[in-house]
Structure formats: C-alpha cells, structure tokens
Amino acid sequence: MLVLRAATLRTSPSTEQLPATDTKGQAAAAGGWPKVKTISERKTLWEVPASPKGVLLLCHGCNHQGSDFWPASDRCQDCLGLPGEVTLRTAAIKHGYAVIAVTSIDRSSKCWSGEDLKPVTEIVKAVVEEEKLGSLPLFLWGGSSGGSFVQMLPGLMPEVKGVIAQIAPASPQEFDVGKGRTYPPILWVHMAKRDQATAGSVAQALKICKDKGIPADEIKVDPQPVTPKFLQQSPQISAKLAASIVDTLKERSFIDQDGLLVGDPRRSAWRDFLKPIVGNANLQPDVGHLPELLNTAFAAHEIISDNAEAWFKWLDARGKKRVAEFLPG
C-alpha cells in the first residue's frame, strides 16, 4: 500500500475556557451544515453556499481528519474547528465554492494512501449528485500528505479543473494523465525558507510544467510574527489571553524583537511555562488551537489559509494569470 506522507506534523483545538464554536461555526450550524455521512467507508462532510460556482475537495494531512474544517456542533460533535482549516473552509464558502472534506481510511497514521484513490472519486461523485452540482467545475486542495494525494487524482478524475498542493513536494510523475489530456493547472503553496527540499521539488516541477504547457505557479510562505491579533484567529483565545501569551513568550525569549519564533514549536518547551496561563486548554499536537497557530507562525510545515482568496481567483482563471496578480499589495 502506497502511503503518501509529506512529512506531516500538525497541531490542536482549545485554549482557555471559551466557547467551543465561533460565530462562523454557529452560522453554518444554523444553516444545517455540514452534512455528515459515511460514504465508501470514509467519513465525509460537506457544505454548499447559497449560490455555488464551483466544488472544492479538501484533503487533510497526516494525523488529521476531514472534521478539522468545522467547529463542533450537534451534527459533528468530534469536529475540531482548527484555525487554519476553518478559515480556509470559510473563505472557500464565501468565494462560492461548495466544499467536501473526506477522512482517509488509515486511522493509525491518518495519512492518505493508494487505498483511498478510487473511493474518494466515488465520494465526490456521490456528493455532487446529491447536491446537484454536476455542472460546476471541480477543484482540489490538499495539505501535506493530502497535497501529495490530490496531485494523483487528476489521472483518475478528468473533470478536475485545478489543484492546490500545500506544504507537499511536487509530484511531476503524475503529470502524464493519458493521451489527449493535459494535467490541470496546479498551484503549490509551500514554506520555502524552512523546507528547502519541497522548494527544490517545486522549482523543478515548474520547469516541467512550462515544457508540457501546464499552467502552474507557486506561493512561498514566510515566517510571521506571533502577535495578539495573530493568536485571535482562534475563537478560543481571547484578547486578554493572547496578550498574556505573547508577553510570556517574549519574557522567556521564545520570540525575538520582531515577534518571530526563535525555535521550532514542535521541539521547544513552550508548553512548560504557558500551561499555567492557558488553564484547561488542549495543547496536544494536531488537536489544540495554540500549537497549530505557533506552527503556522514558524512556517516549517503547517496548514495555512492566508491569501486563500487569491488561490481561488487563480483557480477561477484556470491559471492563465500569475497568482501574484491576485495577492494583496
């Protein structure tokens, strides 16, 4: 069995005794979303905006699941509502994309494998038929292991009109999709400064895409400062708590004068001195909100939703424009 592990380390839900859902999650709940079903033995969740113009399949990374993209609700009590995933899903809905999130069959590593390929095509078909979305373009997004996985799907799904592979090595071996067909436009979003191996693979793949006439582009994600505003992307982190976390990280020299983390939060001992501050917050990797956010700020390997609107505009344009044209500033 082929397991696509694009070096996936990821993070967690909760911080302080605050509501388990945010206003976006409550709005989705009021509208009856997400729908949750087991299809082809895999938990599947989806949400459709009022006037959909496209369909976006979301494929999680290792140690994760499709339920990360929605906050907990009566329909999905085990949903984690992780900050990056919720922001991504919300941006897609706002842009007009119906979103489908599937959980991989391997619940040990929680990575994707070749065993998921055919079932995922069946799942997408089933949801598209149920919601009558067959006339809309289909796009794919995947992070880490999911990013490797979605690069494989166009070979099985000729209806795919665009792919976003995030924090995953490029897979040029997948570009040959059959006689008379061309691989769809592909955008790589990666953390080049701290993941030079992925950056190198993307650089090589961009050259191959140019030779093959495949529209392709990249966005390089840099580390960003840990500020109170940044931490409040989580509805579980109040303004007061966010300020306290940042002050403590500064006092302990875990962030520099520019607010940047000086070490990898997956390997540093920040939990030892922040635990008394955050109370009953869940600080487990891949589950708690604060670890997820710190990983995103460090920018070595983590899901990121910054500038998601630009990704979606690039998909709408079928890669005929440079993604930089859609980025702010």
Identify the architecture of domain 3-222+304-326 in CATH.
Answer: 3-Layer(aba) Sandwich (3.40)
What pLDDT is stored for residue 31 in this prediction? 66
For the chain, give the percent of residues with pLDDT over 70.
91
Q: What are the tens digits of pLDDT across the range 32-86?
A: 899 999 999 999 999 999 999 999 999 999 999 999 999 999 999 999 999 999 9
What pLDDT is stored for residue 317 in this prediction? 98
Q: Nearest Cα to 69, choosing from 30, 35, 117, 118? A: 35
Q: Nearest Cα to 276, choosing from 247, 245, 236? A: 245
Tell me the backbone φ, ψ of residue 95, rounded to 5 degrees.
-75, -20
Which structure tokens are listed for 104? 């991989």
Average pLDDT along the chain: 91
Burial class, 292, CB count within 10 angstroms (exposed 0-12 / middle 13-18 / buried 19+): buried
The label of the residue with tokens 């494989």 reads 152
Q: pLDDT by residue for the chain (329 residues), tens digit each?
A: 334 443 332 323 332 333 333 334 444 444 689 999 999 999 999 999 999 999 999 999 999 999 999 999 999 999 999 999 999 999 999 999 999 999 999 999 999 999 999 999 999 999 999 999 999 999 999 999 999 999 999 999 999 999 999 999 999 999 999 999 999 999 999 999 999 999 999 999 999 999 999 999 999 999 999 999 999 999 999 999 999 999 999 999 999 999 999 999 999 999 999 999 999 999 999 999 999 999 999 999 999 999 999 999 999 999 999 999 999 97
Which structure tokens are listed for 238? 């109040």
What pLDDT is stored for residue 15 in this prediction? 29
What's the rounded Cα separation, in Å, for the pair 259 and 297?
10
Cite the DSSP H helix spans in 153-238: 196-212, 228-231
What's the rounded Cα separation, in Å, for the pair 213 and 104?
32
CB 19 within 8 A of CB 80: no
What pLDDT is stored for residue 173 in this prediction? 97
What's the rounded Cα separation, in Å, for the pair 319 and 210?
12
Q: What is the pTM of this model?
A: 0.91
CB 24 within 8 A of CB 105: no
DSSP string across 105-142? S-TTT--EEGGGHHHHHHHHHHHHHHTT-TTS-EEEEE
What Å distances lie between residue 89 and 59, 115, 198, CA to CA?
Answer: 12, 25, 24
Which structure tokens are listed for 302? 């983590």
What pLDDT is stored for residue 133 in this prediction? 98
What pLDDT is stored for residue 329 in this prediction? 79
What's the rounded Cα separation, in Å, for the pair 312 and 291?
27
Q: Where do the structural domains in the chain lie, given as residue ranges?
A: 3-222+304-326, 228-298
